[in-house]
Amino acid sequence: MLTDFVDYQCTSMELYNLGVWDVIWAISVAALGGSICRAWLTKGAYKGNPTNWPLLGMLPGLLLNLHRVFDWIASVLAHNGGSFSFRGPWFSNMNLYITADPRNVEYALRTRFDNYPKGQDFSDIFHDLLGHGIFNADGQLWKTQRKITSLQLNTRTCKQSTDQTVNRTVEDKLLPTLKYFCDAGRYFDLQDMMLRFTFDTICMVAFGVDTGCVCPTLPVVPFSKAFEDALECTMLRFFVPRKWWRVRKWLHLGKEQGMPEALKGVNKFLEKEIVARREKLRHNFGLSVGGKSDLMSYFLQMDGDAPNDDKILKDLILNFLLAGRDTSALALSWFFWLVASHPSVEKKVIEEVQHVMGGCEMKGKPVPTRAEVSQMHYLHAALTESLRLYPSVPIDIKEILEDDILPDGAHVRKNDKLVYAIHAMGRMESIWGSDCCSFRPERWLKPDDGTFTDAHVPPFHYVVFNAGPRNCLGKDIAYLMMKTVASTLLHHFKITLVPGQKIEHKLSVTLYMKNGLLVRLEPRTP
């Protein structure tokens, strides 16, 4: 699948779609560039490197391409051999070294891990929502939380509970809802449905609460809505200088206007659940007496490193929710779009699911078990290939603590940022060959027996699940959830895409489809 780099006319309506107050700072600053800069901004997308303007730096090029920022980054990196220095406006602290070179990625994520933390800017952006949780922490605080989370996720009880929750949510909630839309012959947004499903599932795994997002009426759930509003505002902060989003926060402009109310909704829900769970445990209604087998209950009953402070516990659970909700839902959305666009891949997935499950009728079982999805090698390869092209987290940012020299010879300076472009890495011919933009699951299969393998891919060529000390702890859960949903849905239904819809990225830190994924389902006949 080829990435389309096309010219673009920047209009006032496009800017409005980003949020008027979220870009008005940029319009004001750009006006200082005079008539020459303004004329350039109306010409269309840049063909290669953006101009480094006096005062404004390369910000105009970024603004012009915000609607396609990840494709733009990929094109700039391809034009520059895999790495590029982005200069921000003067005094903005937006000087970035952007790279898709696996050598640089390995150097930052493993070799010199301590010199490339998340950093204070990253922490400030996410602090209002995520506090000091694992996703937003560095140093000893991060190590402690990672230890706690790893211990719990790897317990046999937690894995069994997760398996049961995923299967139960698919069978009792997702399948009936999808069948309703199928029987009605109605189009619906499959990305929204996947976000609802993962939100319900992760909330059950994290704190044992059914939020009721997945049902035919598609209800607006207050906690889910508050979480999404807070996350959208948080993500927009990434694309503006630090001083500007702080000013907007202080003046309550744009998305920042609704941030306090959104945070209030999120915190109120979680604080209520923590208080209720502590009360049950005080009265001996713990895991051994019919209590909840969720992460919150585990954390509350831990010895030693147990997070006794409610604020720390809230941050820990909320970070887990963020890590699990968007990543799996968006990965599934792009996967279903790719599969619906590649009938030969769909056919192979269906044949494998039917073979593993015992024929077309799946022996009467609507949802496969963990043991059964572990045998679905082609499906695993197709999901892995989809994530290569459309990673749920398309870029990641690290702060540079001390001056350094990267493996590609670049000199990077203290307090600048290193950005490794995961989305762009999947489109680098130097990494994946001439078919780097093609959706080809077979690149992950052994030619002799067709089983999945990633042994031939160096770990820092494929960093969809991060790598090094911060590698993703929830990778196993993510694959279990994705394979269960994908195999079940594709076995029961044929996905038809709404003709003419435009599939493109949304301006976000995670890889949302801007307009969703409109589909219609038909019963799949044997």
Annotated binding residues for heme? 472
Query: Helices 377-389 and 310-341 sit at what angle, rounded to 10 degrees?
Result: 100
Residues forming a β-bridge with 420? 99, 396
Residues forming a β-bridge with 188? 519
Closest to 190 in 3D by CA, of 407, 354, 335, 393:
335
Residues at the annotated binding site? 472
Closest to 474 in 3D by CA, of 358, 258, 326, 306:
326
Q: Whole-angstrom Cα distance, residue 420 to residue 395?
A: 6
| Residue 383, both tokens | 């999901």
Phi-psi region of 409 (alpha: psi -120 to 50; beta: other; left: phi over 0): left
Query: Helices 475-492 and 190-207 sit at what angle, rounded to 10 degrees?
Result: 140
Residues forming a β-bridge with 139? none
Q: Is 501 helix (H, G, I), strand (E, B) or coil?
A: coil
For 188, list phi and psi in degrees, rounded to 5. -150, 170
Q: Whole-angstrom Cα distance, residue 508 to residue 423?
A: 13
Alpha helices per DSSP H over 415-474: 422-425, 429-432
